[in-house]
Every structure is written in C-alpha cells, then in structure tokens.
Amino acid sequence: MKDTTRSTSSRADHVYFSVRDDIFDMRLLPGDRLTEGSIADRFGVSRTPAREALQRLQSDGLMRG
C-alpha cells in the first residue's frame, strides 16, 4: 500500500524549499502575490502540497496570508 501522506509531505517539502530559496535569492520580492493554484501549476503538484508549503512559509514568517 502506498503511503500518500509521506509522498504529499515530500512534495510539500520540495515546494517549500524551492519557494524559500526564491525568497532568499530575491527571485520573489516583498509584495509578490502567490496562490495555491499558481504554485501547484509551477511545481506540477496538487493544491494540497502547495497549501502546506505556503502555510509553512507563513508560519516561518517568510510570507503573509
């Protein structure tokens, strides 16, 4: 049986670290707007890992909701 929780988490981790790197490398600037849909499309994932990554970035103080 496939562990979908772990695969969703690893996709969310990939999105999180990629967007975080974009923030630190100034590829994303203060005021840039991101949506779950745009992130999901960009990384080829469903909205769930995109949402998890964005929530984590918010809780780390790197984004505002």
What is the pLDDT at residue 4? 58
pLDDT at 3: 55
Closest CA to 40 of 62, 11, 4, 3: 11
- Give the residue-averaged pLDDT of 1-29: 85
CATH architecture, range 4-59: Orthogonal Bundle (1.10)
CA nearest neighbour of 8 among 45, 52, 50, 49? 49
| Confidence (pTM) | 0.84
Render pLDDT for 38-48 as a digit per residue (tens, 0 to 9).
999 999 999 99
pLDDT level of residue 52 (50, 70, 90 thresholds)? very high
pLDDT confidence tier of residue 16, bands split at 50, 70 and 90? very high
Q: Minimal CA–CA distance to 45: which of 16, 65, 25, 23?
A: 16
